[in-house]
Amino acid sequence: MTFETRIGRRFAQLKEEGRAALVTFVTAGDPDRDTSMAIVKGLPAAGADVIELGVPFTDPMADGPSIQAAGLRALKAGQTLKRTLAMVREFREGDGETPLILMGYYNPIYVYGVEAFLKDAKDAGVDGLIVVDLPPEEDAELCIPSRAAGIDFIRLATPTTDDRRLPKVLTNTGGFLYYVSMTGITGSKSADSGAVGREVARIKRHTDLPVAVGFGIKTPEAAAAIAEVADGAVVGSAIVDVIARGLDADGKAKPGLVEEALDFVARLADGVRGARSRAAE
């Protein structure tokens, strides 16, 4: 099953431009709904090519301390999956082009109801899903229905995904393949661009999908290094850390938090945009 989505159009556009994508992750509702909404709305102008919006969950087993803390802050502020979809709808009122992906765990979707969720997600303007606890063996649960609804289902591959496992991972995957640059949880180490480059080349022997790389990208320089060897650099924990540093002792947003977060994203974007031109010199 093939269909055109904003994700496919964006990566095709960037391929024509000869550069990689900056994919940014923030947790919906962190530290509160209004601050989070302001950050999300500002991401495209700051240079984000694709937005991953994390759906907070009480048991985020694949997330490191930074994103776990962000999820807890969002849940404390009342964020839910329904409110996350409402944020997507509001974002779409002013931006009909930037791809937006929901990233999280299956439980909130299961509780919501798969059919109802997919209808509401599509209506809101969601382009893709990353559900980290649903392996390919469970495609009938959500992956296949999401693709039938016109929503890309984006799969993760890791350094332990060998050539025997990779075809299974790629089955029904759409939009792009998210390559996790290291084993472990988010935000725990730094990515090695040399090793990543070899893995991206190996994966591309199996698929025409773009390959975006995440985990361990903490600085504009690191994002630039990954952008030289992959189709996209995914930055999450580092952005979430900037948000956390902008909170007061009560966990409330201090003046200037939104601007600081978006300034950091702009510096990441500068790194990514300059990567291919430097590599060609």
Q: Which residues are catalytic?
A: 52, 63
C-alpha torsion angle, residues 129, 64, 11, 141 (rounded to 10): -20
C-alpha torsion angle, residues 159, 155, 105, 8 (rounded to 10): 140
Tell how strand 128-131 and strand 232-235 pair up: unpaired
| Residues near 82 by beta carbon (within 8 Å), at least 6 away in sequence | 112, 120
Distance (Å, whole) CA 198 – CA 180: 13
DSSP per-residue letters across 203-263: HHTT-SS-EEEESS--SHHHHHHHHTTSSEEEE-HHHHHHHHHTB-TTSPBPTTHHHHHHH
> Tokens 């990233």 identify what position?
103
Other Cβ atoms closer than 10 A to 2: 6
Element (H, E) at 177: strand 177-180
What's the DSSP call for residue 97? S
